[in-house]
Amino acid sequence: MRCPFCGNDDSQVKDSRPTEDGAAIRRRRQCPACGGRFTTFERIQLRELVIVKKSGKREVFDRDKLARSIEIACRKRPIETDRIERMVNGVVRRLESIGESEIDAGTLGEMVMEGLQALDPVAYIRFASVYRDFREARDFETFVGSLADVTRPADPAA
């Protein structure tokens, strides 16, 4: 592992333990060249996943990119970081359990939408606005209206 301080390619592992959620291994490392100490988190990857975009372009699945997009949707919302991390882990596990090495981008997007809908309604709408490519205010109105129809309790007078 490359030292972030001096760039030396040889670092020594001083301590290794699983993270609290068990999804990664936390390693404390020390660089023999400069003496700098740093931490790395290593995740076990069962297989290389490839995301197939609408255009047909193939892109290697990037867990960090997924986490960033979810974090952006959740920005300034009262959501703990560990809940976001658990959601990301859940999406990754679902992708790996599909059993295919190539995953349609739409499948990934729907999984994220499901997770965000359960996590936070505002984050869900934010992500949907990008994922579904809203172009006009009317698109938001239609989408939010469909949410209101689903979440609105039945009228007892009807």
Q: Can you give the residue ranges of every domain in the chain?
A: 12-43, 50-149
| Angle CA 151–74–48, to nearest 5 | 105
Least trusted range by pLDDT, from 7-16, 43-52, 60-69, 76-85: 43-52
Sign of CA dihedral 66, 72, 74, 80: positive
* pLDDT greater than 60 at residue 30: yes
Q: What's the DSSP call for residue 25?
A: E
Q: Which of 6, 3, 25 is nearest to 16 (CA)?
A: 25
The 10s digit of each residue's pLDDT in 60-106 is 999 999 999 999 999 999 999 999 999 999 999 899 888 899 999 99
- Average per-residue pLDDT in the chain? 88
pLDDT of residue 70: 97
- Residue in this structure with the two tokens 């809203």, named with its chain if needed: 134
* pLDDT greater than 80 at residue 142: yes
The structure's pTM equals 0.68
